[in-house]
Amino acid sequence: MSHSHLIHAIETRPAHPSIFFFCCTHGNEVAGHQALDQLFEHLYDMKEHINANLYAVLGNLKAYQERTRYLDKDLNRIWTRENLLIEQADNDPVHEISELQSIYQLITDKARDKRGELYFIDLHTTSSSSKPFIVMNDSLKNIQFTASLGMSVVIGVERFIKGSMLDFFNSRGYVSFAFEGGRHDDRDAVYAIEDLCLKVLIKTQAISKKSTERMNNTTSLNPSKFYEIRYRHKLEAQDEFHMINVYRNFQPIRKGEKLALHNQQIIKSPADYTIFMPLYQDQGEDGFFFIKPITYFRLKIISILRKSSLQERLIPRTNVVQSDRNTLIIYNPGIKRYQLKLLHLLGFRKRKNINGKKSIYKRNERYPQPVEDWMS
């Protein structure tokens, strides 16, 4: 199956960076496919001016043919080592596991001999209309890369969503994020996605600014605006839920504002926040998220701290055991508030609570791992 996942490729030299663009990870989100077709049409014409290995990968082939999000399982929730290694029986296999394994085969085949940086960009669209945005794990590498893409960037998704492709590659030390271009059937989503891809090409120096002018394009790099996810309003399968008002994605909300009706209970905002991904369709696991803008000052501190050789010394030692560079075990009664804030700045986030006795904190600051180590 793997040959047809690859819809476009331009290969230069192994020492150049390699960029993997993914579309149709969700089969009904076809704008990414159209955008990549348009983009590569230009790129093939200017091949001699390209300094990168570029791949366009179509994710869920069968779901794409049937124009549905997925068949058995969401392809963007199953990116785990276990699923990549599982040997499926011939009768009744989970469809998306087969897709996952053949995509992985393709990526490792292409990445194995490369010596430059690798980038993984997953292109999506949303069911309701929204301005375009990036969502990604909180890692310094991701923050630095996206800081000049002129986008709204939401970080901290790893706390709430497990098994995404972006998490898989970010935790192997690479820049990896998802881009939501707008509403599924909105023509502007295609342009937004193509524009983002161009910015990635400029940022990685895959193409020069001059070559984009040759493409008659006015894309340029600008500062991004960062947000952090603070809260998810989780729903259970049987729950009755609807939003009280119509909110735009990224709309600021006030403390005490009535937001939603959840099993006959009114949900009010506990503080001033920005609302993110409010649910207006019948199905979904998340009612809405609260996000908060991250100030430029805080971003500066994050970048200074995480690059500093002193950061290890800032980790509290009372009730804390560091099991490796990126993992802390914090025993109850836990640590002070200011220490927790410091850990957040260093990139540590709570991932697990064990019997209320201890919590596991992890962060995403990794060195890039060679392909041979991705499964270890």
Cβ(163)–Cβ(122) below 8 Å: no
* Least distance CB 55 / Zn ion (angstroms): 19
* Least distance CB 58 / Zn ion (angstroms): 13
Candidates 26-34, 58-66, 204-212, 310-318; binding stretch for Zn ion (CB under 5 A) = 26-34
Footprint on residues 83-142 left by Zn ion (CB under 5 A)? 124
Which CB sits closer to Zn ion, 170 or 204? 170
Scan for tokens 């971003």, then name that residue: 299
Which CB sits closer to Zn ion, 24 or 330? 24
Which CB sits closer to Zn ion, 23 or 118? 23
Burial class, 107, CB count within 10 angstroms (exposed 0-12 / middle 13-18 / buried 19+): buried
Which CB sits closer to Zn ion, 18 or 60? 60
Measured CA to CA, the distance from residue 191 to residue 178 in angstroms comes to 16
Q: Which one among 18, 19, 21, 26 touches Zn ion, defined by CB under 5 A?
A: 26
Measured CA to CA, the distance from residue 327 to residue 350 in angstroms comes to 10
Which CB sits closer to Zn ion, 23 or 302? 23
Candidates 24-32, 51-59, 147-155, 227-235; binding stretch for Zn ion (CB under 5 A) = 24-32
Cβ(109)–Cβ(53) below 8 Å: no
Other beta carbons within 10 angstroms of residue 90's beta carbon come to 5
* Least distance CB 121 / Zn ion (angstroms): 13
Sign of CA dihedral 298, 303, 308, 314: positive
Candidates 22-30, 108-116, 196-204, 304-312; binding stretch for Zn ion (CB under 5 A) = 22-30
The one-letter code for the residue type at 60 is N
Angle at 206 between CA 204 and CA 208, to 5 degrees: 100
Cβ(260)–Cβ(243) below 8 Å: yes
Which CB sits closer to Zn ion, 50 or 161? 161
Which CB sits closer to Zn ion, 124 or 172? 124
Scan for tokens 């960009």, then name that residue: 121
Angle at 100 between CA 99 and CA 103, to 5 degrees: 85
Which CB sits closer to Zn ion, 29 or 194? 29
Size of the site for Zn ion (CB under 5 A): 3
* Least distance CB 63 / Zn ion (angstroms): 11
**Both tokens of residue 199?**
């910015």
* Least distance CB 217 / Zn ion (angstroms): 26
Q: Is 184 in the site for Zn ion (CB under 5 A)?
A: no
Which CB sits closer to Zn ion, 29 or 167? 29
* Least distance CB 154 / Zn ion (angstroms): 14
Which CB sits closer to Zn ion, 25 or 219? 25
Cβ(345)–Cβ(295) below 8 Å: no
* Least distance CB 191 / Zn ion (angstroms): 18
* Least distance CB 302 / Zn ion (angstroms): 28
Determine the residue with CB nearest Zn ion: 124
* Least distance CB 187 / Zn ion (angstroms): 18
Scan for tokens 């006030």, then name that residue: 254
**Both tokens of residue 60?**
């869920």
DSSP 222: B
* Least distance CB 24 / Zn ion (angstroms): 9
Measured CA to CA, the distance from residue 204 to residue 87 in angstroms comes to 37
Residue 75: strand, helix, or coil: helix
Candidates 21-29, 223-231, 289-297, 362-370; binding stretch for Zn ion (CB under 5 A) = 21-29
**Both tokens of residue 201?**
């090409």
Give me the 208-247 binding string for Zn ion, x by CB under 5 A, dash otherwise.
----------------------------------------
Candidates 23-31, 90-98, 182-190, 219-227; binding stretch for Zn ion (CB under 5 A) = 23-31
Q: Which residues of 167-201 are buried (b: 16+ CB within 10 A; e: fewer)?
A: bbbbbbbbbbbbbbbbbbebeebbbbbbbbbbbbb
Binding site for Zn ion (CB under 5 A): 26, 29, 124
